[in-house]
Amino acid sequence: MSDHLPCAGRRALVCAFAGLALPRARAAVDAAQLLAQSDAIRNPPRSFALTTTLLEYKAGRQKDEMTLRAYSSMRGSDGQFRSLAAFESPAKDVGKLMLKDGTNLWLFDPSSKATIRISPQQKLLGQAANGDVVTTNFAVDYEARLDGEESITDGDRKPVDCHRLALSARTGAATYHRVQLWIARDGARPVKAQFFVESGALLKTAYYRRVRAVLGADRPTETVLIDALQPDWITLMRFDRHAWRDVPETWLQRDYLSRFRPE
């Protein structure tokens, strides 16, 4: 029938189909921008330091605790962070160091003087993986698409209208194969995330909460991690002692780890 349409009619039909394609193209761009905005809330825009305290609970009782002091510096080449995390507790782990440089993650153990490559997916304590305690930009590690709009209850038990993003790992070096991320429509702060393994099974759920004014922006200062199979197995990640900090280039070198001394 299109062969019998007048020229103006064919142009209108082409425009109509083009219009149908526009929302999908624009949605892809918006998803990437929204993810980058959310990253900018999780992460300060330049080199900084903070302390991460991990608290593991089972059935409401604390089972374990760990503290690390982390120093992060953004790489100019790809927008990803390079991070050095120094273990401050428990006593058996004091002196251990974790270094993230691009897709490489290293652990230095002062007892053996050995530096070994480790996986970001490996559990550190409770539900917290190695990749959870080093600074990461989701926009670098994942492809994003808009997956809907939803009103949910946040980690502080308040209703929040959210964009829902579906994130797919760009490479196997990402901590998680797939992530579902809820971002507040007002302000783009991360609210909730679900993390999936390659088989498609849900691994854990995270709530980003206790938003405070930190290093020039309102940022979550606590993440609650809940095991998918045992919901009474919970790990809290608390962030404090934030400070702007120029991180020496030598600290971010694998060969320097044995010589590092905490400040």
Whether the predicted model's global pTM rises above the 0.75 cut: yes
Of 229 and 103, more confident? 229
First-to-last alpha carbon distance for the chain, in angstroms, is 77
Q: What integer best gives the mean pLDDT of the chain?
A: 88
Identify the residue whose tokens are 């196997």.
172
Nearest to 62 by CA among 236, 250, 229: 236
CA-nearest of 168, 167, 163 to 189 is: 163
d(CA 103, CA 80): 10
pLDDT in tens, 188-226: 999 999 999 999 999 999 999 999 999 999 999 999 999
Cβ neighbour number for residue 14 with a 10 Å cutoff: 11
Q: Look at residues 38, 250, 54 and name the one whose alpha carbon lies nearest to residue 136.
A: 38
- Token pair, residue 201, equals 């099974």
Best CATH choice for the domain 45-259 from the list 3.20.20.60, 2.50.20.10, 3.40.50.720, 2.40.50.140: 2.50.20.10
Kindly report, residue by residue over 66-111, the tens digit of the pLDDT. Answer: 999 999 998 766 667 899 999 999 999 999 999 998 788 999 999 9
- List the domain boundaries for the chain: 45-259
* Residue 77: per-residue pLDDT: 63
